[in-house]
Amino acid sequence: MGNLVPTAAQQLTDTEAQLSKFRHTLRASDRYIFDGLFAMARRHIAAMSQSDALLPFESALLAIVLEQAKQIAVLQQKVEVLEARSIRGNQDRLAH
């Protein structure tokens, strides 16, 4: 029987376990964010398993960056909507 290659999910779990001492030293609020980073990576396990050119942790980091970029785009859109409302509100006040 040949050697089994761990799945991307198992590699991510192993990495998380290897970082348990690091995680433990974080403040509780930082641990919550830290755990969220791994949750972000897990959303892209299928893509991570197809990234043979990258080390497993590199593909996890890329998945995390992707999720953060999506969050930033959503926040930017919300800011633009709020700015447009503010400008319209100011124009309405000036018109009256």
Q: List, for residues 50-87, the tens digit of each pLDDT value.
A: 998 999 999 999 999 999 999 999 999 999 999 998 88
Q: For residue range 30-40, list pLDDT tens digits in order.
A: 999 999 999 99
Of the listed ranges 2-6, 58-62, 76-80, 88-92, the one predicted with least confidence: 88-92
CA quadruple 21, 22, 27, 30: dihedral, nearest 10: -130
Output the pLDDT for position 83: 93
pLDDT at 1 over 70: no
Q: Crossing angle for the helix pair 56-95 and 8-18, nearest 10 degrees?
A: 80
Average pLDDT of the segment spanning 3-31: 95
Euclidean distance between CA atoms 91 and 95, whole angstroms: 6
pTM over 0.85: no
